Amino acid sequence: MITATKVKLYPNEGQKILLEKHFGSCRFVYNYFLKKRDEYYITHRDAQRSSLNYFDTNNMLIELKKEYPWLYEINAQSLQMSLRFLDNAFKNFFHRNAEHPKFKRKGINEFFAVPQHIKIQGNRIYFPKFSEGIYFKGSEKKLSEIKDINEIVITKDSGYYYCSIIYENEEELPEKKPLSSENSVGIDLGIEKFATLSNGIAIENPGFIKKVEKRIKRLQKQLSKKENGSKNRRKHILKLQKEY
């Protein structure tokens, strides 16, 4: 069975810079070839072959690296994975399962994937361009036992870095049980009580939420006064994200 686990990364300052370069470069490659594929379709829509595919853009990536040498600082397979994601997005669009792919924006849904050459030793994870390993916190014992890692996905959320490790284990999918009164419960959300279950259990309202809500309300009010596109506004958005 293919499963995944997520751990929080604690990179040093040099690793943070390199992670940010990976986010930016993968976003650049995705957006560059999204534009190229759109342009190709406009000029070849009446031709027998009206669109580019993954292999076309992968060949074009070789020339793009010569034009932008800083792309060599990035794990080559991570750049190729960006082309895979773009190709899948177009396939879903052609099959009418999704909208037309959109350009990625800095600071929104930042991630990159690493498909090979991944190793976990102790509380460090090693992959191309990060030969000294990045320190993480998670289920260390469980991760050290992983033998077949299919892929890792590095993400950034509210200023923090995370690693999702996708791997295979020997467990089988659990048998799906039919719903019944014995294995299901009804939930009624309320005001005085956070929730009341159909089996009679009542869950009290967590008091800390009121304190957090006050801080969030104050930060939202301050954010509304910040100038759109300014650095102060971006910093304030990050504070609000962390509070959430």
AA identity, residue 135: Y
User: Comparing C-alpha atoms, which of 23, 3, 20, 1 is closest to residue 11?
Assistant: 20
Computed over every residue of the chain, the mean pLDDT equals 90
Domain identity same for 143 and 232: no
Q: Is 198 within the bounds of a domain?
A: no
Domain identity same for 233 and 130: no
Q: Residue 227 is part of which domain span? A: 208-243
Domain identity same for 82 and 137: yes
Q: Is 201 within the bounds of a domain?
A: no
The predicted-structure confidence for 118-169, as pLDDT tens digits, reads as follows 999 888 999 999 999 999 987 666 787 787 889 999 999 988 999 999 988 7
Total tally of structural domains belonging to the chain: 2
The predicted-structure confidence for 159-194, as pLDDT tens digits, reads as follows 899 999 998 877 777 788 888 878 889 999 887 888
Q: Is 41 within the bounds of a domain?
A: yes
The predicted-structure confidence for 8-60, as pLDDT tens digits, reads as follows 999 999 999 999 999 999 999 999 999 999 999 999 888 888 889 999 999 99
Q: Is 96 within the bounds of a domain?
A: yes
The whole-angstrom separation of Cα 206 and Cα 84 is 44
Looking at 158, 175, 192, which one is the last position of a domain? Answer: 175
Domain identity same for 58 and 166: yes
Looking at 154, 175, 196, which one is the last position of a domain? Answer: 175
Task: Order across the sheet with 160-168: list the strands.
Answer: 110-114, 149-157, 160-168, 2-9, 130-137, 124-127, 119-121
